Each structure stands twice: as structure tokens, then as C-alpha cells.
Amino acid sequence: MDRPLNARGRHLALVGFMGAGKSTVGPQLAERLGRRFVDLDAEIERQAGLSIAKLFARRGEAHFRSLEAERALGSLRASEPAVISLGGGAVTSPRIREALRERAFTVLLDVDVEEAWRRVQGGERPLARDEAGFRALYEERRPLYDDVACGRAQDIDGAVLAAAGIYVERGALARLGALVPGEGPVELAIDATVAELHGAAIRAALGARLGAVHELPQGETAKSTEVCGQLWQALRLERGGTLVAAGGGCTTDVAGFSAATYMRGIAWAAVPTTLVGQVDAAIGGKTAIDLAGGKNLVGAFHWPARVVCDPDVLDTLPEAEVAAGMAEVVKTGLLAGEPLWELPRAELVRACAAFKAALCLRDPEDRGPRNALNLGHTFAHALEAAAGYEGPSHGEAVALGLLAATRLSVEHLGLDPAVPGEVERALRPAPVHVSRERAWDALQRDKKAVAGRPQLVLLEALGAPRTGVELPEDAVRAALDSLIAG
Ligand SMILES: NC(=O)c1ccc[n+]([C@@H]2O[C@H](COP(=O)([O-])OP(=O)(O)OC[C@H]3O[C@@H](n4cnc5c(N)ncnc54)[C@H](O)[C@@H]3O)[C@@H](O)[C@H]2O)c1
Ligand SMILES: [Zn+2]
């Protein structure tokens, strides 16, 4: 059986050697994914009324293993996806390994033996009494972990990314052939500019699997029914094939949508090459094209089989495109409650991708928590629309929108008054020249408005968004006006 590609709709099982950090990572991971956390060792201890050390000493390892298998199988059979942490030796049971393969997406929390020994020596664990025995056990179990692992991680963000099927790694582009799942043929849809700059490297990495290459116009024009239609016509992939999309959000949106609809859906892999793409557009499975009447009016949810983010490809990105991405990075940092925008590039991409991935795993169809990602966007869309989409770029508009949202949060939800200043320092938003009337009209017509009343995403505190906030009209209007010059 093929390994599952992500943890959507499945249990997320954490396995790993003693000292890998399962009991630290597990509860936090469950919290971020909005899932129940099951700690099998803790459940066994509770049920037996004894610590694992005492259970081992009084009843022996075989007895413990049979209790463990019973518990593990019971938890894995439950239908509601949970985060399940298994004891270090659980993988020695063939029944547990089989149940993991059938019911879970299993993440191996990787730890090297030195670090594991450093963490557990001197503790209570029955199988960590002497170092030589500990090392031998580590070697013995390693192939069993490899046998069940669908992904690997060393920390919470790593576990989230693995669970979403996302790779963030400097130099990942060179390993693209191995990272696109399956062995079937692939075709490549690639932004024209990216083809010039990185096309050769991408083709080489895909190697013999690569069939046709489809060059798409750069920018928003790619998200048209015409380009989408041409791509449908040109594709030669069969059901087992994978469409690889390399470019910014425009490329991944149109190629992802083509993949969602071609032959009623084929697999696709996203290789985002802009900062917006790596921290936002390629994450979470939303795909779309535009109609004359508006952006993203036709689309589908189609989770990519893999997302490969190589922060090094951003080295060729023009400054304005970096700035556009930074607006989404600041948005993510405000939602996460950490100044992610201060991190070095590769770390920032990883943290932001993981943050969005967790929200999307939690809410794949955008019915609730994912709405927080709209922070600043109600104002941004109003400004973009008021300028007929010929004024501020999306990034510039989002920077302004974040300023308005944080200012309103200070006034109405008690957010720390220093936050709007931080947004200004990070993004230097410049007021735009648009008609105040047109902007206000657009804001009231926002897709998410209820009976003309905008539903805002605001912050109660850093890292604590509140969605669906309605404020008095004059307060919202004043906040919007303050973003407009003249
Ligand atoms: N699906 C989603 O969840 C989602 C989320 C956010 C945004 N989006 C969509 O994403 C689109 C915006 O994406 P974007 O900002 O990436 O724009 P984009 O795809 O137009 O790319 C921006 C520009 O950068 C160039 N480029 C791309 N990679 C490059 C590289 N490595 N070096 C040099 N130049 C490079 C492109 O040719 C283009 O000119 C919008 O259409 C938006 O609706 C979708
Ligand atoms: Zn945005």
C-alpha cells in the first residue's frame, strides 16, 4: 500500500525513540491542529494505576507490550482524527505497525542517539539503564521506525509541515525528482520568468520522469480561463501522473486548478518560487482562476500531493515581490504572536508555512479558524478595488490593512498599543490615493460582509485573533479613511 501523503482526515501518529520529545511535541501539535491528544503511555499508566517502570518491574515487558497493543489499536480505530503519541517500543509490534499503516499518517520524531541518551540517562525508564544497551536498542529499532514513517521531524513546525506534505529546505530544488511523490510521469507548468531563471535546474532535477513542459505567462494574466483552457488541452498526463507547478501564487493557483479539474482531478505538486507563494499561496489547497467580474471566482480545494519550498530560489526575486511577501509574513507573525518577520529568510519561510499549514489542516475547507488569515484583508481588498486594481499592489494594500486592523484592535479589543507601530516599522505602509467613497462602498460589499456589515478579523492580543468582529460604522470608516492620502 502507498504511504499516505498527509494527515488530512487521518490520525497523526508520533513515533520515535526514547528522548525524541514525543510527550512535549504531542500536546502542542494537537493544540495547533485542533485535535484530541492521546498519550498512549500515559493512558496505560492511568489504566493500570502504575507507572511504566513499575509495570515493567512487576509484570514484565511482554505484559506491558500486550496492554500497549490493545490500547494503540483501540485509539487508532477511533474515527475522529487525533494526535496519538506512541511509546518508543510500540513499533516492535507487527499489529501496531499494520494499524499505523492503515489508519495513520505517522511522523517519526528523529533524534540522534547521543542526544537521546543525554536526555534520558539517569531517569526512570526501564530500557534506559545502561548506555550500551540503550545504543543497541536504538540500532535495533531504527529500521522499524523507517518502516512506518510517512514523514520525519525534529520539532513542532517540522511535524506540522510533514503532516501537510510540505518540504521547506534550502537547496530542495535539486532534490525535486525525489520529492515529487510516486513514480509516474510528471509534466511541468512553469512561469515564463521562472523558466528563464530556474527552468534548467528544475528540469534537471525532475530528470527522466519529466514529459511536456508548459510555459505560462507571468503574473495575474495566467489565472484566466484562456490560459487554463490551453493547459487542459495541452496536458497529456493520465490519472497516475502528477502536474508540477513552479512559479508564484499565480502559477500555482492556475496549475492547481487545472489539476483539480483535468480528468476530474490528478495529483499536483507545488514548487512556489515567490515569498508570497512559499508562505501563503501554495499552502492549504485553495486553487483558483479569475473571471472578468472578479478575482478567484472559479476554483477548487485540491490539496497538493507535495509542496517543495526552496528559500534559495527567492534570491532572484525582485525587491517589490519580496516586500509583497513580507506583508503576509507580518500578518502571519501577528496571528502567531511572534515577530516572525525578524527571522532570517529560510527560517521565516519555514515558520510561516508551518503556521498556515496548521490552520489549513485544522480547517481544510475554510469554514472557521482559517478565516483568521484574512487579518488586514478586508481593508486591503477595499483599497485594491477602489483603485480598480491599478493602484496599490496586494502587498502594499495588506500592509495598510494590517495597520487599520491593529489600530482598531488597540481601540476596541485592548491590543497592546505598541503593535501598530511595529507594523509600521516592519512594512512602512504608504497611504494611497483612492476615492474614499469608492473604498467605503467596496468594503461594505466585501465577500465576507453580512448584510453590509463587514466582519473583521482583529487581535485581542498578539497570537490571539478574533474573527467575525462587527464594529460601529464610523469606527471602521475612520480606520479606512486613515489609510487614504489627501
Ligand atoms: N491559493 C491561495 O491560497 C492564495 C493565497 C495567497 C495568494 N494567492 C494568489 O497568488 C497570486 C499572487 O502570487 P505572487 O505574489 O507569487 O505573484 P506571481 O505569481 O505573479 O509572481 C510575481 C512575479 O514574480 C516573478 N517570479 C516568480 N518567482 C520568481 C523568482 N524566483 N525570481 C524572479 N522572479 C520570480 C513572476 O514571474 C511574477 O512576475 C494572486 O493571484 C493571489 O490571488 C493565492
Ligand atoms: Zn493576501
pLDDT digits (tens, 9 = 90+) for 425-467: 999 999 999 999 999 999 998 777 788 788 999 999 999 999 9
Q: Measure 442 CA to ligand 1 centroid, in angstroms.
A: 24
Atom of ligand 1 nearest to the CA of 223: 41
| Cα radius of gyration (the chain) | 25
The CB of 215 under 6 Å from ligand 1? The reply is no
Q: Is the pLDDT of residue 38 over 90?
A: yes
| Residue 123 pLDDT class (50, 70, 90 cuts) | confident
CA of 331 to the centre of ligand 2 (A): 9
Question: What's the mean pLDDT in 337-357?
Answer: 98
Instruction: Give residue for cell 510521469.
Output: 185
Q: What is the pLDDT of residues 164-203, one digit of tens each?
A: 999 999 999 999 999 999 889 999 999 999 999 999 999 9
Q: What is the mean pLDDT of the chain?
A: 95
Over residues 68-85, the mean pLDDT reads: 97
**Looking at this protein, which amino acid is placed at residue 22?**
K
Instruction: Give one word for 96, left, alpha or beta, with left for phi > 0 and alpha for psi -120 to 50.
Output: alpha
Ligand closest in space to the Cα of 290: 1
Side chain identity, residue 236: R
194 lines ligand 1 (CB under 6 A): yes
Nearest CA to 194 out of 347, 321, 346 is that of 321
Q: What is the pLDDT of residue 128?
A: 83
Distance 369 CA to ligand 2 centre (A): 16
User: Ligand 1 within 6 A of 253 CB?
Assistant: yes
pLDDT of residue 255: 98
Percent of the chain at pLDDT above 70? 100
C-alpha 275 – ligand 1 centre gap (Å): 8
Q: Percentage of the chain with pLDDT > 90?
A: 91
Assess whether the C-beta atom of 89 lies below 6 angstroms from ligand 1: no
Whether residue 225 has its Cβ less than 6 Å from ligand 1: no
Q: Which of 173, 193, 373 to mutate to test the pocket of ligand 1 (most atoms within 8 A of CB)?
A: 193
Specify burial of residue 365 (Cβ count, 10 A radius: 0-12, 13-18, 19+). Answer: exposed
What does the pLDDT average to over 51-61?
Answer: 92
Q: Which of 399, 393, 272, 378 is nearest to 334 (CA)?
A: 399
Lowest mean pLDDT among 124-128, 269-273, 295-299: 124-128
For residue 291, report the distance from its CA to the centre of ligand 1, in Å. Answer: 18
Nearest-angstrom CA–CA distance, 36 and 100? 17
For ligand 1, the distance from its centroid to the CA atom of residue 36, given in whole angstroms, is 36
pLDDT of residue 449: 76
Distance 10 CA to ligand 1 centre (A): 31
Answer for the pair 222, 254: CB distance below 8 angstroms, yes or no. yes
Cβ of residue 276 lying under 6 Å from some atom of ligand 1: yes
Check pocket membership of 251 for ligand 1, CB cut-off 6 A.
yes
pLDDT in tens, 388-427: 989 999 999 999 999 999 999 999 999 999 999 999 999 9
Q: Residue 92, Cα to own-chain centre: how many angstroms?
A: 32
Confidence tier at 148 by pLDDT (50, 70, 90)? very high
Pull the grid cell for residue 237.
498526463
Residue pLDDT, tens place only, 303-329: 999 999 999 999 999 999 999 999 999
- Confidence band of 280 (pLDDT split at 50, 70, 90): very high
Asked whether 359 and 370 are in contact (CB, 8 A), the reply is yes
pLDDT of residue 1: 59
Average pLDDT, integer, range 107-122: 93
Contact 255, 231 (CB under 8 A): yes
Other Cβ atoms within 10 Å of 68 Cβ, number? 24
**Residues near 217 by Cβ (< 8 Å), separated by ≥ 6?**
192, 227
Q: What 3-state class would DSSP assign to 458?
A: strand
Is residue 220 lining ligand 1, measured as CB closer than 6 Å? yes
Please check whether residue 11 is in contact with residue 28, taking contact to mean a CB–CB distance below 8 angstroms: no
Residue 154 near ligand 1, beta carbon < 6 Å: no
pLDDT of res. 5: 97
Q: Is the distance from the beta carbon of residue 277 to the nearest atom of ligand 1 less than 6 Å?
A: yes
Tell me the pLDDT band of 473, cut-offs 50, 70 and 90.
Answer: very high
Distance 328 CA to ligand 2 centre (A): 6
Ligand 1 centre and the CA of 136: distance in Å? 50
Q: Is 221 in the pocket of ligand 1 (CB under 6 A)?
A: no
68 pLDDT above the threshold of 90:
yes
**Predicted pLDDT of residue 99:** 97
Which residue has better confidence, 1 or 249? Answer: 249
- Does the CB atom of residue 328 touch ligand 1 within 6 A? no
